Chains A and B, each alone.
Chain A
């Protein structure tokens, strides 16, 4: 892997060894209405939106997909693995 970046490598690689992130910072990807959302799970069926992964600019106007809002999702097997 060659990193071509202006960021100092020691900053980029900091904490590379210990990958287990604390529970509240854990992020998973879920799919809602065909759009991928990165959420921080709050419970088995609820998460806080971190990021919307969509190319459609109109999706970003949707209130329920705004970063920080709570979203309910069904805990399907394909939603649980990140």
Chain B
């Protein structure tokens, strides 16, 4: 019998509630939620690495690969099944990560940040200057099918939402297990003092490498789902400001709990929707001030509010 800990029960409950809510909520809201959860998966990729002390300013690289796999898989390979498309994105992303990860894991601190940024900008540069890769226009995503079923219009949006919630829920469960495993704990130790971890007989580099591959895969899933939901991909996905947004959401939620990136991403999406309407030219400014406030007052992210309260009550 599978024993569930408290977080897992909560995650399962949240998944079921969201699935039901999908049929009741207005379609604009489910659309926002779909995008937010897809984005949160990329943020999870950033968070995995952040827990080990590495800040990736280039997670857009894998986000973009995942998205373009969907766009180009439909346009060139005539693949339309969502699972095949997502799988394609993950395979390409992990393949790329397996090669550049060998290089990336040699770097720490700002060098890791800069190199990850440079690599995603390389992809951006390659796409923008190549008409075969869609140049600045990108691709429209062909109507996807789910194991032979081809939903249309509203039905399709709902199907993508359900798919996103299920995938996000499943990955959240897996991530939670990983965070609480011995290997997950070592990440914190690597952040604190890598050399001491080495002296204990572990190889920080290979742990970071595994993190990197996993982060790449999960970010590609996020990119693929985003592409499926919006029906369009463009090179902006690899531009460094997109990656900056992921870092922002990661810091907003904090790295202590697996649910934090999801909550932060939904909050981010909702605030943006309203802020863009009310003050289109000061949206980034609001973001900047919030980011500063988080760094100064809540260095462990919004989630520390929840965690702090619980500790005070106990």
Whether both chains belong to one complex is answered with no
Q: Identify the A interface with B (CB < 8 A).
A: none
Interface residues, chain B, with chain A CB atoms under 8 Å away: none
